[in-house]
Each structure stands twice: as structure tokens, then as C-alpha cells.
Copies of this chain bind each other. A is one copy, B any other.
Amino acid sequence: MTDERMALVAKALAHPVRIHIVRLLAAQSECRGHEVFADLPLAQSTISEHLRVLKEAGLVQSHPVGTAMVYCLVGGVLEEFGAAIGEIAATVSECEPDEGACDE
């Protein structure tokens, strides 16, 4: 996963409300839009915007059902991102103590 792609996904997740939405979508297969709207004390337009950001990052997809929309996570993207993070974390070589403890 390229730096740019990782940064894009991270940017999409860089807001508590969007993390909340992602958790919500992960937790339930039923993902009607108005449930998302009802779950947060924000204007409908604001949440719609957050959903748009998540869709543009490829994390969320949606399709209309009648007058409503069904949102759900795109399979694999979150896994890939988490795995990419884990990969980096796995290569960490801690600061060598002989160079001084890495305190702030």
C-alpha cells in the first residue's frame, strides 16, 4: 500500500464522527442512512458530508433502496489498512538504549 493511499484512508478516518460511523456500519448489516443520521447529534447535511468523505476514500459504498440509501463498508479496505499499519509496526526497531533512552 502506497504512502498516498494510506494517507487517504487515514484522512478519511481522521475524525471521531467518521470513526463512529465506521464502527456503526461494521456492527450491523442493516445500514439505512436515517439510522446513521438519528445516531448522531449533528445536522443531516453534516453527516451526509462525512459519508461522502468515507465513500470517496473507498471505505464505504451505498446503493439506493426506494427513497432511502443503504450504506455499508467495502470489504477488505479496513483489513488492508490495518494490516499495512501492522506491517510497519512489525519492522520497528526500538531506539538503542546505548544512545540514550528515547524519552520525550
Contacts and interface: CB of A to CB of B under 8 A. Distances in A.
A28 interface: yes
B22 A88 contact: yes
B93 A29 contact: yes
Chain A contact patch, size range: 35 or more
Contacts of A27: 91, 93
Q: What is the oligomeric copy number?
A: 2
Contacts of A65: 99-100
A62 B17 CA distance: 31
Nearest to A31: B95
A70 B88 contact: no
Interface string A53-67: 001000001110100
